[in-house]
Amino acid sequence: MAESVKVGDMAPNFALFSETGEAVELQDYIGNKPVVLFFYPKDNSAICTKEACRFRDSFDEFKNSHDAEIIGISSDSVESHQLFSKKKQSAVYAPE
């Protein structure tokens, strides 16, 4: 079994689908700009919704102050992400 990632470790490359169905691969962002990864267990759960909305509400600050890309990750389906994003009027992943 692979070792778990610890705070401060370089994240391993991954490819996952965004709520638009687009494949997102971490290696496409590393080295280009700062990347903020946040992991949440489930769309529409109380704590996860609060966390995702905090990132949504801070998006301009991350973008303007740090030119950072924000990527939220959960194991939910693309359809679940679409409903969650529409409900909260935000994108978990919003490519430029």
Q: Catalytic site residue 53? A: no
Query: Which of helix, strand or coil describes residue 63?
Result: helix
Exposure class string for 18-49: b at 16+ Cβ within 10 A, else e: bbeeeebebeeeeeeeeeeeeebeebeeeebb
Among residues 24, 48, 52, 71, which one is catalytic?
Answer: 48
List the catalytic residues: 48
